[in-house]
Protein backbone atom coordinates (compact mmCIF):
# COMPACT_ATOMS: atom_id res chain seq x y z
CA UNK A 1 0.00 0.00 0.00
CA UNK A 2 2.90 2.35 0.67
CA UNK A 3 3.71 2.59 -3.04
CA UNK A 4 0.15 3.13 -4.24
CA UNK A 5 -0.68 6.53 -5.74
CA UNK A 6 -3.02 8.35 -3.40
CA UNK A 7 -6.25 9.33 -5.15
CA UNK A 8 -8.27 12.30 -3.95
CA UNK A 9 -12.06 12.72 -4.28
CA UNK A 10 -13.39 13.66 -7.71
CA UNK A 11 -14.47 17.05 -6.36
CA UNK A 12 -10.84 17.81 -5.49
CA UNK A 13 -9.69 16.94 -9.01
CA UNK A 14 -12.35 19.23 -10.47
CA UNK A 15 -11.47 22.14 -8.17
CA UNK A 16 -7.77 21.61 -8.82
CA UNK A 17 -8.26 21.70 -12.60
CA UNK A 18 -10.42 24.81 -12.32
CA UNK A 19 -7.79 26.54 -10.22
CA UNK A 20 -4.97 25.72 -12.63
CA UNK A 21 -7.01 26.72 -15.67
CA UNK A 22 -8.18 30.01 -14.15
CA UNK A 23 -4.64 30.82 -13.05
CA UNK A 24 -3.35 30.29 -16.58
CA UNK A 25 -6.14 32.43 -18.03
CA UNK A 26 -5.48 35.25 -15.58
CA UNK A 27 -1.71 35.28 -16.13
CA UNK A 28 -2.03 35.12 -19.92
CA UNK A 29 -4.47 38.04 -19.89
CA UNK A 30 -1.99 40.05 -17.82
CA UNK A 31 0.86 39.12 -20.19
CA UNK A 32 -1.23 40.09 -23.21
CA UNK A 33 -2.18 43.42 -21.66
CA UNK A 34 1.43 44.31 -20.83
CA UNK A 35 2.64 43.09 -24.23
CA UNK A 36 0.14 45.26 -26.09
CA UNK A 37 1.09 48.28 -24.01
CA UNK A 38 4.73 47.77 -24.96
CA UNK A 39 3.71 47.37 -28.61
CA UNK A 40 1.66 50.57 -28.44
CA UNK A 41 4.69 52.39 -27.02
CA UNK A 42 6.81 51.12 -29.91
CA UNK A 43 4.28 52.32 -32.51
CA UNK A 44 4.02 55.69 -30.77
CA UNK A 45 7.62 56.45 -31.75
CA UNK A 46 6.38 57.99 -35.04
CA UNK A 47 8.20 55.50 -37.22
CA UNK A 48 6.03 56.78 -40.09
CA UNK A 49 4.16 60.03 -40.58
CA UNK A 50 1.19 58.83 -42.61
CA UNK A 51 -2.29 59.01 -41.12
CA UNK A 52 -2.83 55.30 -41.75
CA UNK A 53 0.20 54.44 -39.61
CA UNK A 54 -1.27 56.17 -36.54
CA UNK A 55 -4.27 53.87 -36.76
CA UNK A 56 -2.04 50.98 -35.67
CA UNK A 57 -1.17 52.21 -32.15
CA UNK A 58 -4.80 53.22 -31.70
CA UNK A 59 -5.96 49.69 -32.52
CA UNK A 60 -3.33 48.22 -30.22
CA UNK A 61 -4.49 50.42 -27.34
CA UNK A 62 -8.11 49.44 -28.02
CA UNK A 63 -7.09 45.76 -27.92
CA UNK A 64 -5.28 46.31 -24.63
CA UNK A 65 -8.34 48.05 -23.21
CA UNK A 66 -10.56 45.18 -24.38
CA UNK A 67 -8.32 42.68 -22.56
CA UNK A 68 -8.41 44.76 -19.39
CA UNK A 69 -12.21 44.96 -19.52
CA UNK A 70 -12.44 41.21 -20.20
CA UNK A 71 -10.23 40.47 -17.21
CA UNK A 72 -12.29 42.80 -15.02
CA UNK A 73 -15.58 41.20 -16.05
CA UNK A 74 -14.53 37.54 -15.99
CA UNK A 75 -12.37 37.89 -12.85
CA UNK A 76 -10.43 34.66 -13.50
CA UNK A 77 -8.24 35.41 -10.48
CA UNK A 78 -11.25 35.10 -8.19
CA UNK A 79 -12.14 31.70 -9.65
CA UNK A 80 -8.48 30.76 -9.23
CA UNK A 81 -8.43 31.74 -5.53
CA UNK A 82 -11.77 30.18 -4.67
CA UNK A 83 -11.06 26.95 -6.56
CA UNK A 84 -7.67 26.67 -4.89
CA UNK A 85 -9.21 27.22 -1.46
CA UNK A 86 -11.86 24.60 -2.23
CA UNK A 87 -9.27 22.08 -3.44
CA UNK A 88 -7.02 22.58 -0.41
CA UNK A 89 -9.96 22.24 1.98
CA UNK A 90 -10.97 18.94 0.37
CA UNK A 91 -7.37 17.74 0.39
CA UNK A 92 -6.79 18.37 4.08
CA UNK A 93 -10.16 16.81 5.01
CA UNK A 94 -9.35 13.76 2.88
CA UNK A 95 -6.16 13.19 4.82
CA UNK A 96 -7.98 13.61 8.12
CA UNK A 97 -10.50 10.98 6.98
CA UNK A 98 -7.80 8.54 5.87
CA UNK A 99 -5.73 9.03 9.02
CA UNK A 100 -8.83 8.77 11.27
CA UNK A 101 -8.18 12.28 12.51
CA UNK A 102 -10.92 14.45 13.96
CA UNK A 103 -13.67 14.98 12.97
CA UNK A 104 -13.42 11.63 11.13
CA UNK A 105 -11.91 9.54 13.91
CA UNK A 106 -12.51 5.91 14.80
CA UNK A 107 -16.09 4.71 15.01
CA UNK A 108 -17.73 1.34 15.64
CA UNK A 109 -19.41 1.64 12.26
CA UNK A 110 -17.22 2.87 9.40
CA UNK A 111 -20.37 3.82 7.47
CA UNK A 112 -20.88 6.63 10.01
CA UNK A 113 -17.57 8.25 9.08
CA UNK A 114 -18.23 7.73 5.38
CA UNK A 115 -21.56 9.48 5.75
CA UNK A 116 -19.94 12.35 7.66
CA UNK A 117 -17.29 12.79 4.98
CA UNK A 118 -19.88 12.77 2.17
CA UNK A 119 -21.95 15.28 4.13
CA UNK A 120 -18.88 17.49 4.45
CA UNK A 121 -18.32 17.39 0.69
CA UNK A 122 -21.96 18.26 0.09
CA UNK A 123 -21.78 21.22 2.46
CA UNK A 124 -18.55 22.56 1.00
CA UNK A 125 -19.93 22.22 -2.51
CA UNK A 126 -23.04 24.14 -1.47
CA UNK A 127 -20.88 26.88 0.04
CA UNK A 128 -19.09 27.30 -3.29
CA UNK A 129 -22.06 27.68 -5.61
CA UNK A 130 -20.46 30.79 -7.09
CA UNK A 131 -17.91 28.63 -8.91
CA UNK A 132 -20.08 25.51 -9.14
CA UNK A 133 -21.60 26.64 -12.44
CA UNK A 134 -18.13 26.77 -13.99
CA UNK A 135 -17.09 23.28 -12.92
CA UNK A 136 -16.45 20.93 -15.85
CA UNK A 137 -18.51 17.72 -15.81
CA UNK A 138 -15.51 15.47 -16.52
CA UNK A 139 -15.12 14.21 -12.93
CA UNK A 140 -18.78 14.34 -11.91
CA UNK A 141 -19.25 10.57 -12.17
CA UNK A 142 -15.96 9.64 -10.45
CA UNK A 143 -15.66 8.40 -6.86
CA UNK A 144 -15.76 10.89 -4.00
CA UNK A 145 -14.36 8.36 -1.51
CA UNK A 146 -11.71 6.57 -3.52
CA UNK A 147 -10.41 3.05 -3.08
CA UNK A 148 -6.98 4.29 -2.05
CA UNK A 149 -8.56 6.46 0.65
CA UNK A 150 -10.35 3.43 2.10
CA UNK A 151 -7.20 1.30 1.84
CA UNK A 152 -5.13 3.89 3.71
CA UNK A 153 -7.76 4.29 6.42
CA UNK A 154 -7.76 0.49 6.93
CA UNK A 155 -4.01 0.45 7.73
CA UNK A 156 -2.79 -0.10 11.26
CA UNK A 157 -1.76 2.88 13.36
CA UNK A 158 1.91 2.26 12.58
CA UNK A 159 1.13 1.88 8.87
CA UNK A 160 -0.85 5.12 8.77
CA UNK A 161 1.88 7.02 10.60
CA UNK A 162 4.46 5.81 8.09
CA UNK A 163 2.19 6.51 5.12
CA UNK A 164 1.32 9.99 6.36
CA UNK A 165 4.98 10.82 6.98
CA UNK A 166 6.04 9.66 3.51
CA UNK A 167 3.15 10.78 1.32
CA UNK A 168 1.99 13.89 3.10
CA UNK A 169 4.53 15.47 5.45
CA UNK A 170 7.68 14.87 3.42
CA UNK A 171 5.97 15.70 0.13
CA UNK A 172 4.56 18.93 1.56
CA UNK A 173 7.93 19.94 3.00
CA UNK A 174 9.59 19.25 -0.34
CA UNK A 175 6.90 21.21 -2.20
CA UNK A 176 7.19 24.28 0.02
CA UNK A 177 10.99 24.20 -0.02
CA UNK A 178 11.12 23.91 -3.82
CA UNK A 179 8.53 26.66 -4.29
CA UNK A 180 10.43 28.93 -1.90
CA UNK A 181 13.62 28.44 -3.90
CA UNK A 182 11.86 28.92 -7.24
CA UNK A 183 10.21 32.16 -6.11
CA UNK A 184 13.47 33.48 -4.70
CA UNK A 185 15.29 32.78 -7.97
CA UNK A 186 12.45 34.29 -10.01
CA UNK A 187 12.51 37.40 -7.85
CA UNK A 188 16.25 37.84 -8.43
CA UNK A 189 15.87 37.37 -12.20
CA UNK A 190 13.05 39.90 -12.52
CA UNK A 191 14.82 42.44 -10.30
CA UNK A 192 17.87 42.22 -12.56
CA UNK A 193 15.64 42.57 -15.63
CA UNK A 194 14.01 45.65 -14.11
CA UNK A 195 17.38 47.23 -13.30
CA UNK A 196 18.59 46.56 -16.84
CA UNK A 197 15.44 48.12 -18.34
CA UNK A 198 15.83 51.24 -16.21
CA UNK A 199 19.55 51.42 -17.00
CA UNK A 200 18.85 51.21 -20.72
CA UNK A 201 16.23 53.97 -20.44
CA UNK A 202 18.68 56.18 -18.54
CA UNK A 203 21.49 55.58 -21.07
CA UNK A 204 19.16 56.33 -23.98
CA UNK A 205 18.03 59.52 -22.26
CA UNK A 206 21.65 60.62 -21.87
CA UNK A 207 22.41 59.84 -25.51
CA UNK A 208 19.39 61.86 -26.58
CA UNK A 209 20.89 64.89 -24.84
CA UNK A 210 24.01 64.64 -26.97
CA UNK A 211 22.17 63.63 -30.16
CA UNK A 212 19.01 65.78 -30.15
CA UNK A 213 18.62 65.59 -33.92
CA UNK A 214 17.95 61.83 -33.87
CA UNK A 215 14.21 61.20 -33.76
CA UNK A 216 13.57 57.53 -33.03
CA UNK A 217 14.73 57.02 -29.45
CA UNK A 218 13.00 53.93 -27.95
CA UNK A 219 12.90 55.42 -24.47
CA UNK A 220 9.13 55.19 -23.98
CA UNK A 221 8.91 51.48 -24.90
CA UNK A 222 11.77 50.67 -22.53
CA UNK A 223 10.05 52.60 -19.72
CA UNK A 224 6.82 50.68 -20.38
CA UNK A 225 8.80 47.42 -20.28
CA UNK A 226 10.32 48.42 -16.91
CA UNK A 227 6.88 49.30 -15.57
CA UNK A 228 5.44 46.02 -16.85
CA UNK A 229 8.18 44.09 -15.08
CA UNK A 230 7.32 45.81 -11.80
CA UNK A 231 3.64 45.06 -12.38
CA UNK A 232 4.42 41.40 -13.08
CA UNK A 233 6.44 41.14 -9.87
CA UNK A 234 3.50 42.56 -7.92
CA UNK A 235 1.12 40.07 -9.54
CA UNK A 236 3.36 37.09 -8.81
CA UNK A 237 4.50 38.27 -5.34
CA UNK A 238 7.81 36.42 -5.61
CA UNK A 239 9.44 37.79 -2.44
CA UNK A 240 6.33 37.40 -0.31
CA UNK A 241 5.78 33.81 -1.38
CA UNK A 242 9.46 32.89 -1.02
CA UNK A 243 9.43 34.11 2.58
CA UNK A 244 6.13 32.47 3.57
CA UNK A 245 6.96 29.18 1.85
CA UNK A 246 10.33 29.03 3.61
CA UNK A 247 8.71 29.58 7.01
CA UNK A 248 6.10 26.90 6.30
CA UNK A 249 8.79 24.39 5.26
CA UNK A 250 10.58 24.98 8.58
CA UNK A 251 7.31 24.66 10.50
CA UNK A 252 6.63 21.32 8.80
CA UNK A 253 10.08 20.09 9.86
CA UNK A 254 9.33 21.05 13.45
CA UNK A 255 5.99 19.25 13.36
CA UNK A 256 7.57 16.15 11.82
CA UNK A 257 9.98 15.90 14.75
CA UNK A 258 6.99 15.07 16.95
CA UNK A 259 6.29 11.77 15.17
CA UNK A 260 8.33 9.65 17.66
CA UNK A 261 6.04 10.97 20.42
CA UNK A 262 2.91 9.55 18.75
CA UNK A 263 1.84 6.42 20.66
CA UNK A 264 -1.93 6.16 20.47
CA UNK A 265 -4.78 6.84 18.07
CA UNK A 266 -5.59 9.96 20.07
CA UNK A 267 -2.02 11.20 19.78
CA UNK A 268 -2.01 10.59 16.04
CA UNK A 269 -5.38 12.30 15.53
CA UNK A 270 -4.10 15.40 17.32
CA UNK A 271 -0.85 15.26 15.33
CA UNK A 272 -2.69 15.06 11.98
CA UNK A 273 -4.96 17.99 12.84
CA UNK A 274 -1.95 20.11 13.83
CA UNK A 275 -0.05 19.18 10.68
CA UNK A 276 -3.00 19.90 8.38
CA UNK A 277 -3.48 23.29 9.99
CA UNK A 278 0.16 24.10 9.21
CA UNK A 279 -0.20 22.93 5.61
CA UNK A 280 -3.27 25.04 4.97
CA UNK A 281 -2.46 28.12 7.06
CA UNK A 282 -0.07 29.79 4.63
CA UNK A 283 -2.22 29.08 1.62
CA UNK A 284 -5.42 30.24 3.32
CA UNK A 285 -3.77 33.50 4.34
CA UNK A 286 -2.42 34.03 0.82
CA UNK A 287 -5.84 33.47 -0.73
CA UNK A 288 -7.37 35.92 1.76
CA UNK A 289 -4.77 38.56 0.93
CA UNK A 290 -5.42 38.11 -2.79
CA UNK A 291 -9.18 38.45 -2.39
CA UNK A 292 -8.84 41.67 -0.42
CA UNK A 293 -6.07 43.14 -2.55
pLDDT tens profile 232-253:
999 999 999 999 899 999 999 9
Q: What is the pLDDT of residue 121?
A: 87
**Which has the minimum average pLDDT: 113-117, 181-185, 223-227?**
113-117
Euclidean distance between CA atoms 104 and 116, whole angstroms: 7
* pLDDT higher than 80, residue 81: yes
Question: 3-class DSSP state for residue 12?
Answer: helix
Q: What is the pLDDT of residue 142?
A: 53
* pLDDT higher than 50, residue 183: yes
Q: Which of the pair, 107 or 278, is modelled with greater confidence?
A: 278
Q: What is the pLDDT of residue 52?
A: 82
∠ CA 13-16-21 to the nearest 5 degrees?
125
The CA distances from residue 175 to 30, 68, 235, 287, in Å, are 26, 33, 21, 18
**Which has the minimum average pLDDT: 51-55, 90-94, 266-270?**
51-55
CB atoms within 10 A of CB 134: 13
* pLDDT higher than 90, residue 43: no
Closest CA to 276 of 57, 91, 49: 91
Whole-number mean pLDDT of the chain? 87
Euclidean distance between CA atoms 210 and 119, whole angstroms: 74
pLDDT band at 141 (very low <50, low <70, confident <90, very high): very low
Q: What is the pLDDT of residue 189?
A: 97
Question: 3-class DSSP state for residue 53?
Answer: coil
Q: What is the pLDDT of residue 249?
A: 92
Q: What is the pLDDT of residue 50?
A: 78
Q: What is the pLDDT of residue 38?
A: 94
* pLDDT higher than 60, residue 213: yes
Euclidean distance between CA atoms 191 and 197, whole angstroms: 10
pLDDT band at 44 (very low <50, low <70, confident <90, very high): confident
Q: What is the pLDDT of residue 232?
A: 95
* pLDDT higher than 80, residue 109: no
* Percentage with pLDDT > 90 across the chain: 56
Euclidean distance between CA atoms 173 and 77, whole angstroms: 26
CA 248 to chain centroid: 15
> What is the value of pTM for the model shown?
0.84
- Per mean pLDDT, which of 2-11, 47-56, 116-125, 159-168 is the most reliable? 159-168
Closest CA to 215 of 51, 55, 53, 48: 48
B/e letters for 64-86, b = 16+ CB within 10 Å, e = fewer, are: beebbeebeeeebbebbbbbbbb
Amino acid sequence: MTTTQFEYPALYNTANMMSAGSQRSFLWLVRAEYGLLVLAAVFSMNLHTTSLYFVIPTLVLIASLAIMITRSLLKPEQVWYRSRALAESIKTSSWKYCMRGEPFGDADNLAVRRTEFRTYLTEILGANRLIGDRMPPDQAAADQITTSMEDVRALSLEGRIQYYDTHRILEQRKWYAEKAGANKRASSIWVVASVIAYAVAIVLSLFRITHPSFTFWPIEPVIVIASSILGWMQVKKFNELASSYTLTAHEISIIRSKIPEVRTEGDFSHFVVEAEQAFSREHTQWVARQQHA
